[in-house]
Amino acid sequence: DIGVTGVQTCALPIYNLGRAENLQLIKDRGLSPIKAFEQYKKQGNRAYITGNLDTPIISSILSWIDASKLNESTKKSYKGQIQSFGKIVKKTDTLSVLVPRLNQYRNIKENAGQHSTFNHTKAVIQSYLKKSYKRSSDIYQQVLDIEILPKKERIDRVGLEIDQVITITSTDLVPPYVNDMIWSICYSGLRKYEYFEEWGAVWKKHAHHIYLTKIPGKGNKGYDRPTLLPFPDITTKPRIQYRQFRRYLKLLQPLIKVPLDPYSFRYTFKRWCRYSLIPEISIDAYMGHVPLKPKELYDKYQVDKFFEEHNRMFREWVLKHRPIKVNPMADKFFTFTKGK
């Protein structure tokens, strides 16, 4: 049988050809359902193949992710997107109500300013429908018609000045170890997930530098790298997880106008490196913007000398430009024990 819009007469795919008069014209020609479908599309009309939409939304998508040949990190990311979407979807909801649920989710994320979260979720659902129901399916086309949310303007990370970092680390609003963590990122330039040792990242302090190792494929930068260690005594491991650290930063945000997050502190390191006149190619390597190892930057017998020299340049600039009168709470962040 050839189905008309909204009519499904059997479990087999139904070819949705729109209006009833179009259906009659095709039946008069004696065409098979497949031929009728192809002929209708050739005429420039929009036609869909409709499948069984009685399967639960979340469980069916998660099952598809588990059975897919995607790598584990991608599967984890996809599952996170779908589980977030599942918070507004009932367990009994089937694919027949996917479109209104996705529109509802779009409104929620738009109001929350989480545009990329919705766009990523929509992309995962489209991938599932493309594999399970094909591009020509009605449900795929309906999801495709839902507009993605526009990308939010990217914040230009310029970093903080020394007096700004002193301002936010000289209060009693947060525990002292939070201030230690802020200065640790400012003095090392580690990414958020690198400093908190997420996604398989591990960093260790050596005589003149920090060396970071990562599991390939985790995060968006899979290569290992060194970075500077100008103040070894101050640069410490995190005492708390990122989520709790972020909550403390919200308490400090009213003190200055610059956005406070680990990326602001990371780019503070880059800013101070430039002020210290460290070569740009070295800064890019320390930041992890280029996959260069120490022996590719410098002669392999001179690596420690370059680290030591850049540490000295960085440290001298910081000590020279710190305010004359420093709050006693922040004074410890400028200490350097010679020989360590």
For residues 217 and 195, give the distance between their C-alpha atoms in angstroms, rounded to a whole number.
18
Q: Give strand pairing partners of 50.
A: 14
For residues 317 and 180, give the distance between their C-alpha atoms in angstroms, rounded to a whole number.
20
253: nearest Cα among 168, 130, 332: 168
- Tokens for 263, please give them: 């990326």
Confirm if 234 and 183 have CB atoms less than 8 A apart: yes
DSSP class of residue 28? H
Residue whose pair of structure tokens reads 């390191």 in the numeric block: 269
pLDDT one digit per residue (tens) for the chain, 340 residues: 344 444 333 334 444 545 445 555 555 555 565 566 666 666 666 555 556 788 899 999 999 999 998 888 789 889 989 999 999 998 889 999 999 999 999 999 998 888 888 999 999 999 999 888 888 788 888 999 999 998 766 555 778 999 899 999 988 899 999 999 999 999 999 988 889 988 788 899 988 888 888 766 544 455 678 889 999 988 899 999 999 999 999 999 999 888 888 889 999 999 999 999 998 888 888 888 765 555 555 444 466 778 889 999 999 999 888 876 666 666 777 776 654 4
- In terms of phi and psi (left: phi > 0; alpha: psi -120 to 50; beta: otherwise), the region of 226 is beta
DSSP class of residue 19? S
CA dist list (Å): 54 to 63, 95, 97, 126: 15, 6, 10, 18
- Tokens for 282, please give them: 């070295």
CA dist list (Å): 150 to 76, 119, 156, 327: 25, 9, 18, 44
The pTM of the full predicted model, rounded to 2 decimals, is 0.57
For residues 295 and 306, give the distance between their C-alpha atoms in angstroms, rounded to a whole number.
11
Q: What is the pLDDT of residue 274?
A: 93
Q: What is the pLDDT of residue 328?
A: 67
Cα torsion angle, 29, 35, 37, 40, sign: negative
Residue whose pair of structure tokens reads 């979407």 in the numeric block: 85
123: nearest Cα among 106, 100, 104: 106
Residue whose pair of structure tokens reads 């320390």 in the numeric block: 286
For residues 193 and 212, give the distance between their C-alpha atoms in angstroms, rounded to a whole number.
11
Q: Give strand pairing partners of 225.
A: 212
Longest alpha-carbon distance in the chain = 94
